[in-house]
Amino acid sequence: MFCALGRLAALFFSFFIGTAASASYQVPFASYDDGLFTPFEHLDTLTHHEFSTLGHPAFPNHSVRIKKSNFCDGGVNAYTGYIDVEVRHLFFYFFESRNDPTTDDVIMWINGGPGCSSSTGLFMELGPCRVLTPDGPTYNPYSWNENANVFFIDQPVGVGFSYADYGESVSTTDEASRDIAAFIAIFFENFSQFKGRAFHMAGESYGGKYIPMFAAEVYDQNAALVAAGMTPINLGSIIIGNGVTDYYKLWPAYIDMVCANASTFPIASVGACVSMKEALPRCHRWTQASCIDSFDDISCNAARDFCYSAIEAPFYETGRNPYDISKDCEGGIGATLCYPITKHITEYLDLPSVRTALGVDPSLSTLNFTSCSNTVGSAFSAHSDKLHPTSEHVAQLLERGVHTLIYAGVNDWKCNWLGNQRWTLDLEWTGHDAFSTQPLKEWEVDGEVAGRTRGAHGLTFATIYGAGHMVPYDKPKEALAMIQRWLSQETL
């Protein structure tokens, strides 16, 4: 859910919340005979009492269990289930649109970490209901399913209600991308009501790493889907909120956010700001040589550790919330990651009645729900996953007509708007000049300025005033307006 925390990640569940894609898709596709494959066609064929299993001959190692689970928003149909990848099982939620599920677009939402459950996005940010008090879920009028059908997926295995039979794990975004792409293909192929519908892949924080690679895998997989006689996925756009797409662009921005009036009055001491600025050139030289010009894993990780100690660690001495620097950290970052209300989500998802309604696998009945898995986060860190930028994936998707929305709450420090603005301005693609020469201009919601934006040739960057890391939580009305305009292809 949250952007990378450096060394703090190993102590406090990596992140809270929100390599290159394979050149060719490796699943052994085969053409199929209509007599061997019968799709479900419509979701209304599913029941509340048991899972139905979806599959496809083109994905012999993948299947999907799905059931009705109307637990959150009585006005729409809701479904839960598992993506089964042999002995690995990824949990998901799916909500139909409140407007018109038969024609509205489909959005997939993934929180970050790596290792954090998308239940945080569902129950704290943009889902049909929120669990912000001990009283349980309440209706969210600003849910993104106002005008879209929305998925929430706990991935990779070991996150949220996802599990493995024998301790199997996934430790890189590249590995995880294949399972997500297979699930998407199986779902759309089985439920023909969604075939050809515009599909948008969205996420926040480490989603800045996940979403470009997942979308690239979905896009590249389309050629194999066509060859197998299946309908290609209509990948309309990717959407990233306060993402960690280019980790290296964040370090100078960390200094500016606390020393240079980038969103609030400077909160770091004069001495700390001087020390950070003095360390920055060495940080740049070391990471450029060890992580960018060539990738020396040992030296790159040493550079990361130096940059963390010199540039990130001083922030935590301020006592501020790293995900909203306009506020102090509440409840201790180790216990609640500065958001005590997250405990209510955990308590809700630990209720046996809720787990039964969701269809959570019985093997998890003795385990308490955790919003973030330190085990998964540590595995990704051990493979230096975050140290490989995914900005080039974004550039390649843009070249292929996949529109991209990068948005950021201005009060977030960990995955801040300055770092995200810088990588979008530096992005090398055919629309670079048109995009980078556009000035930031104000955008409004109900006559009030909501933030600033620039856009050209399918790439849009937007800030949201008064919001931190979790924009749909801090500014739900503005976040919904932004997404509704994006889906309708309006400018902000």
Whether 412 is catalytic is yes
Residue 38: the pLDDT is 59
Higher-confidence position of 331 and 451: 451
Give me the percent of the chain exceeding a pLDDT of 90.
66
Residue 319: the pLDDT is 92
User: What six digits make up the tokens of 376?
Assistant: 């998964």
Dihedrals φ, ψ of 123, to 5°?
-95, -5
Residue 1: the pLDDT is 52
Whether 391 is catalytic is no
Whole-number Å distance between alpha carbons of 179 and 171: 13
Q: Where in the chain is the domain with CATH 3.40.50.1820?
A: 8-248+387-487
For domain 250-331, which CATH number applies: 3.40.366.10, 3.10.105.10, 1.10.240.10, 1.10.287.410?
1.10.287.410
List own/partner pairs for 475-480 with CB under 8 A and 24 or more apart: 475/409, 475/450, 476/125, 476/126, 476/140, 476/142, 477/142, 477/445, 477/446, 478/445, 478/450, 478/451, 479/126, 479/142, 479/144, 480/126, 480/142, 480/143, 480/144, 480/146
Residue 27: the pLDDT is 36
Q: Where in the chain is the domain with CATH 1.10.287.410?
A: 250-331
Q: Which residues contact 175 (CB under 8 A, 6 or more apart)?
A: 156
Of 56, 200, 344, 469, the catalytic one is 469
Residue closest to 210 by CA, chosen among 473, 397, 377, 18: 18
Of 143, 205, 237, 373, the catalytic one is 205
Whole-number Å distance between alpha carbons of 228 and 40: 18
pLDDT 10s digits, 401-417: 999 999 999 999 999 99
For domain 8-248+387-487, which CATH number applies: 3.40.50.1820, 3.90.1150.10, 3.40.50.720, 3.40.50.150?
3.40.50.1820
Whether 469 is catalytic is yes
Mean per-residue pLDDT for 10-28?
Answer: 35
> pTM for the complete prediction?
0.91
Element spanning 479, H or E:
helix 476-487
Dihedrals φ, ψ of 64, to 5°?
-130, 125
pLDDT 10s digits, 180-237: 998 898 888 888 889 999 999 999 999 999 999 999 999 999 999 999 888 999 999 9
pLDDT 10s digits, 135-152: 999 999 999 999 999 999
Whole-number Å distance between alpha carbons of 79 and 68: 4
Residue 131: the pLDDT is 95
Of 385, 412, 432, 474, the catalytic one is 412
Mean per-residue pLDDT for 240-251?
Answer: 94
- Across 69-160, where does the E strand assignment appear? 78-85, 88-95, 105-110, 129-130, 138-139, 148-153
